[in-house]
Amino acid sequence: MSKPILEVSDLKKTYETSGTKALNGVTLSFFPGELISLLGENAAGKTTLMKAIVGIEKPDSGSMLLKGEPYSPSNPSQALKMGIGMVPQNLRVIDRLTVLENLLIARKANKLKRTAKSYREYIETLIGRYQLQLPLDREVGTLSLAERQRVEILRLLQNSPDILIFDEPTALISENEKAELFETFNKLKGEGKSIVFITHKLREAYSVSDRIYLIRSGVIVGSFRKDEISVEGLYDLMAGEESPGSSVRSSLSEEVVLKVEKICVESSVEGSDAVRDVSFEARKGELIAITGVAGNGQEELQEGLFGVRKVISGRILLGGIDVTNLPPHRLRRLGVASLPSDRDKLASCRGSSIRDNLVIQRVLSGGWVVSGREMDNYARELLSKYGVVFGSIGDPVFTLSGGNLQKLLLAREISSEP
């Protein structure tokens, strides 16, 4: 068997302000030509571990060896120069720049000698080799999420990394786009690169991985090849409980709290509907799932229900009251909360602190006049209640992993008692 590219030994990390032990003696290895999945529930420690590997977080103790030599990067740029790069869940592309301009600012110094023409040809070669089709002269802000993700992948590939880390890359892309991404994984593996797939989606991890590391509460609880464990066994280890399917459904109330009657929701394209003739009822204590391939009206439906997008026809009844096209602030006063799929742009203020993102809704709603200390205590209480792993409540919210950001936003919405 070949030697590992990277060896991680007994990494530990505790956030002193919150007292959260994010990593508790993590040990694992990365081999060339292998795809490993780091599998765990939200806030299990997956992202913290990878941030330590690329120099975003500094571990309290433990060691790393890269090709047999001590490895301790101080930042992601240094890690990339040494051959390790990460496609983060919160993409770092600049919307107002073109694809090519985004790539230009991310290349290493040794690529600067290329002429504009030869650099473009080099990028086009990478696009063809890995089937990462992209319009190089389009502004990134006009691209789909999957295309923006490809820009991030190319940012790494142009610097010839040995290890590529993907943090929850399938969270918001369609099934077809997932298949294309996994095909890219296979091409990279075939070239001897080590691929790390961070996910909480067990079946996806099982289907594409050569090896799976299970992490729970900052501890690696198992390492398996697919022929060593079943999907059901992974469920049990991942959650520390029986696999789903055995629970008994509770009885539902007959009280209808939300009734949607044949609504049509406007599209961004003039003269067309994004949602047409949708009807359903939601009863007290009931969970309703609305599913479908991404881009088929789910987001527009949510925006129509929450007053962000115009409902052209039909009615929305909340407790028997017609609330069609009421603005969000009035719906909130009536007990409606909403959590958009785009957490970064629509649900949080990335540059503001963790505390401010938690309390802003209560402050803006009026009638909540408290001291800074009371705000701090309120934020810490919510963060603790919902198990959010964080450093300090004053840290920018973008320092949270995707799973922890989701918990924070859920805590904020539920705390309003919708």
For 372-389, give one letter per residue: b (16+ CB within 10 A) or e.
eeebeebbbebbeebebb
Domains 6-239 and 255-338 share a fold: yes
The CB density around residue 39, as the number of other CB atoms within 10 Å, is 27
Q: pLDDT value at position 201?
A: 86
Q: What is the CATH number of domain 6-239?
A: 3.40.50.300
pLDDT at 361 over 80: no
Q: pLDDT value at position 249?
A: 46
Query: Cα 68–71–74 angle (5° rounding)?
Result: 165
Q: pLDDT value at position 247?
A: 42
The CB density around residue 335, as the number of other CB atoms within 10 Å, is 12
Q: pLDDT value at position 117?
A: 82
Q: pLDDT value at position 4?
A: 94
pLDDT at 252 over 50: yes
Q: What is the CATH number of domain 255-338?
A: 3.40.50.300
Q: What percent of the chain has pLDDT over 90?
A: 48
The CB density around residue 26, as the number of other CB atoms within 10 Å, is 24
Closest CA to 168 of 131, 125, 196, 197: 197
pLDDT per residue over 279-288, tens digit each?
999 988 888 8
pLDDT at 233 over 80: yes
Distance CA 126, CA 132 (A): 8
pLDDT at 184 over 70: yes
Higher pLDDT, residue 178 or 245: 178
Closest CA to 223 of 84, 38, 405: 38
Closest CA to 265 of 279, 254, 251, 255: 279
Q: pLDDT value at position 56?
A: 92
pLDDT per residue over 125-182, tens digit each?
999 999 999 999 999 999 988 999 999 999 999 999 999 999 989 987 888 899 999 9
pLDDT at 363 over 80: no
Residues 6 or more apart in contact with residue 159 via CB below 8 angstroms: 80, 81, 85, 106, 107, 108, 111
Q: pLDDT value at position 1?
A: 57
Distance CA 363, CA 374 (A): 12
Mean pLDDT, residues 361-379:
75
pLDDT per residue over 47-72, tens digit each?
899 999 999 999 999 999 999 999 99
Q: Quick one: angle between helices 354-364 and 372-385, nearest 10?
A: 110
pLDDT at 369 over 60: no
Q: pLDDT value at position 248?
A: 41
Q: pLDDT value at position 109?
A: 46
The values of phi and psi at residue 233, to 5°, are: -65, -35
Residue 42 in contact with residue 167, Cβ under 8 Å?
A: no
Lowest mean pLDDT segment, chosen from 63-72, 117-126, 354-363, 404-413: 354-363
Confidence category of residue 103, pLDDT binned at 50, 70, 90: very high
Mean pLDDT, residues 340-349:
83
Tell me, letter by letter, the H, E, C secondary structure of 283-335.
ECCCCCCCCCCCCCCHHHHHHHHCCCCCEEEEEEEECCEECCCCCHHHHHHCC
Give me the residue spans of the domains in the chain.
Answer: 6-239, 255-338, 340-418
When the pLDDT of each residue in the chain is averaged and rounded to a whole number, the result is 87
Tell me, letter by letter, the H, E, C secondary structure of 178-246.
HHHHHHHHHHHHHCCCEEEEEECCHHHHHHHCCEEEEEECCEEEEEEEHHHCCHHHHHHHHHCCCCCCC
Q: pLDDT value at position 390?
A: 86
pLDDT at 331 over 60: yes
- Please name the residue that has the structure tokens 């000698």: 113
The CB density around residue 210, as the number of other CB atoms within 10 Å, is 14
Q: pLDDT value at position 243?
A: 43
Give the DSSP letter of residue 167.
E
For 247-272, give one letter per residue: b (16+ CB within 10 A) or e.
eeeeeeeeeebbbbbebbbbbeeeee
Higher pLDDT, residue 405 or 270: 405
The neighbouring-strand residues paired with 216 are: 219
Which helix H or strand E contains 368, and what residues bound it? none
Q: pLDDT value at position 251?
A: 54
Could you please report the per-residue DSSP string of 65-127?
EETTEE---SSHHHHHHTTEEEE-SS----TTSBHHHHHHTTS-GGGTTS-HHHHHHHHHHHH
Q: pLDDT value at position 371?
A: 77
Tokens, residue 183? 């095909």
- Considering 105-109, 290-294, 325-329, the range whose residues carry the highest mean pLDDT is 325-329
- Considering 51-55, 326-330, 363-367, the range whose residues carry the highest mean pLDDT is 51-55
Higher pLDDT, residue 164 or 375: 164
pLDDT per residue over 214-231, tens digit each?
998 899 988 999 888 888
Residues 6 or more apart in contact with residue 367 via CB below 8 angstroms: none
Distance CA 304, CA 229 (A): 44
Confidence category of residue 366, pLDDT binned at 50, 70, 90: low
Give the DSSP letter of residue 266.
E
Output the CA torsion sign for 406, 409, 415, 418.
negative
Distance CA 183, CA 146 (A): 14
Q: pLDDT value at position 11?
A: 96
- Considering 268-272, 332-336, 401-405, the range whose residues carry the highest mean pLDDT is 332-336
Q: pLDDT value at position 372?
A: 80
Which helix H or strand E contains 60, and what residues bound it? none
